[in-house]
Amino acid sequence: MVSTQAHPSRSFADLSRAGLATLVPELLLCGQLIDRSGMAHLIVEFGRDGMAQVAIEEWQASSPWYTRRMQKALRYEGDDVITIFKGLQLDIGAPPQFMDFRYRVDDPRHGEFRLDHCGALMDVEPLGDEYVTAMCHDIEDPTFDATALATNPHAQVRPIHRPPRRPADRHPHCAWTVVIDDFHVPPVTPPHTERIGRTAAYAVELSPIDPADEGSGDYAGPLLADVRFGDFSQSALVRIAEEVCLQHHLLALGFLLAVRKRVDEDTAREIARKQVTGIAGVTAQRIRDALGLPADLHGLATVLSLHPLLNPKQYVDREIRFDGTALHLWLGRDGLVDTDGGWPALLDGAHLEAVQALVRGVDPHFTVRVLSEDPAGMLLTVDTTDQPAAECGEVAITKVSTGAAFVFEDRGIPLPLYVI
């Protein structure tokens, strides 16, 4: 292992409360864009119907577990509609504003939500009604229920109306009821969901929330029309950021599990590597821009320390070393993510595309090379080239999504939503 003077690695805890409040919605949005990165490659391999089946299985497998984790972390565990809606507000499947959920609560067992804007629909609508139906019918029906079932096994999510839109400019884009009824027979938990529930990702312990911190340390109060992340305490935002990164990893594990059922191991790993390459580059660029970081080694060191590919640090065995001149990334093989076989476990000296996309998302003049590699891990260094690298195809595919350039806005103080 090459020795370098270690600059203290930045982490979520090193960011200010305001910086974290800016970063968290970015992490939620980039979690939603994981599918924009992965699904194009599934269509090539399996066609539209096969893509839809993988999407169903990956969200069914992952969303119940990360939903329960966030409920516990922010102390809003319950079995009612309000608990379900709070979970959606902190879910990578429903990033704020890009997926503009609006909620109504009639009583603890009945409610509605609508999407005043659905970024995913904007991405898919140009592909035609068949793709819209695949997303808004075939995928949403089982996956919305899977998320709700994490709160109450008798919950059902059913459409009031949904795309394809008739007329073409119909608003809201869709509307749904959520009903909890003891006569609803819970569906059988599929094997892929049970398997993800046995991963190290589901069980990992993350940073505790300090109740003495200024700001809210939980979401135990009323349901709010919008979550304003700046109202949370610094330690609560650290925990939320860690949980959202874990959502990325759980979704990726569900994706890989579903793909492995359909192809051989080499092909499955190739598809997963394309998925992580596309999202790694887009996420790096969005983190850089959102936090106003410089496109230099200092900025890259910070992006590496905050990027979901390498977080949370309790799950990923990694170390960022920066002495002001040289920047090194150590990827160990003893992390919990390696036990699960997640994204970092797909990276090695012969497969650096995702890390290349990440560093070039900060500046296309950056490139990585291997300094050493053995069973314990891999040490990479960052070099600067004279000519900028062309954007790789996987990143370009992900940027087809309107989410890649989406801009969040300040919506002011949110209103609490009470039972009508």
239 and 287 belong to one structural domain: no
In a domain? residue 11: no
Q: Which residues of 34-64 are buried (b: 16+ CB within 10 A; e: fewer)?
A: bbbbbbbbbbebbebeebbbbbbbbbbbbbb
119 lies in some domain: yes
- Domain-located, residue 177: yes
Q: Where do runs of H (alpha helix) occur along 292-352?
A: 297-306, 336-340
Sheet holding 110-118, edge to edge: 99-107, 110-118, 174-180, 155-161
Residue 60 domain-assigned (yes or no): yes
Q: Chunked in runs of 10, what are the mean pLDDT values of the chain (420 residues)? A: 41 95 98 95 96 96 97 97 97 97 97 96 94 94 91 96 94 96 92 97 98 97 96 98 98 98 97 98 98 97 98 97 95 98 98 98 98 98 98 97 95 84
Secondary-structure breakdown of the chain: helix, strand, coil percentages, each rounded to the nearest 5: 50, 15, 35
**Based on the domain organization, do 220 and 322 belong to the same domain?**
no
Residues 204 and 277 in one domain: no
pLDDT at 68: 97
The answer to whether residues 238 and 289 belong to one domain is no
Domain count, the chain: 2
Residue 4 within a domain: no
Question: What's residue 187's pLDDT?
Answer: 85
Residues 229 and 349 both lie in one domain? no
C-alpha triplet 250, 253, 256: angle, nearest 5°: 155
**Burial of 107 from C-beta contacts in 10 A (0-12 / 13-18 / 19+):** exposed
How many helices (H) and strands (E) the chain has is answered by 13, 10
Q: Where do the H-state alpha helices sit in 292-331?
A: 297-306
Is the same domain home to 32 and 123?
yes
Q: Are residues 26 and 125 in the same domain?
A: yes
- CA–chain centroid gap for 48, Å, is 23
Same-domain check for residues 285 and 353: yes
In a domain, 184, yes or no: yes
Q: Which amino acid is at 325?
A: T
Domain assignment present for 116: yes
Q: What is the value of pTM for the model shown?
A: 0.96
In this prediction, residue 3 carries a pLDDT of: 33
Give the pLDDT score at 420. Answer: 66
Locate 331 and state its tokens.
Answer: 């990827």
- Domain containing 327 equals 269-405
Q: Provide the H-helix boundaries in 116-264.
A: 119-124, 129-133, 140-149, 191-196, 200-203, 234-260
Q: Please indicate, yes or no, whether residues 222 and 291 belong to a single structural domain of this protein.
A: no
We report the CATH number of the domain holding residue 366 as 3.30.1380
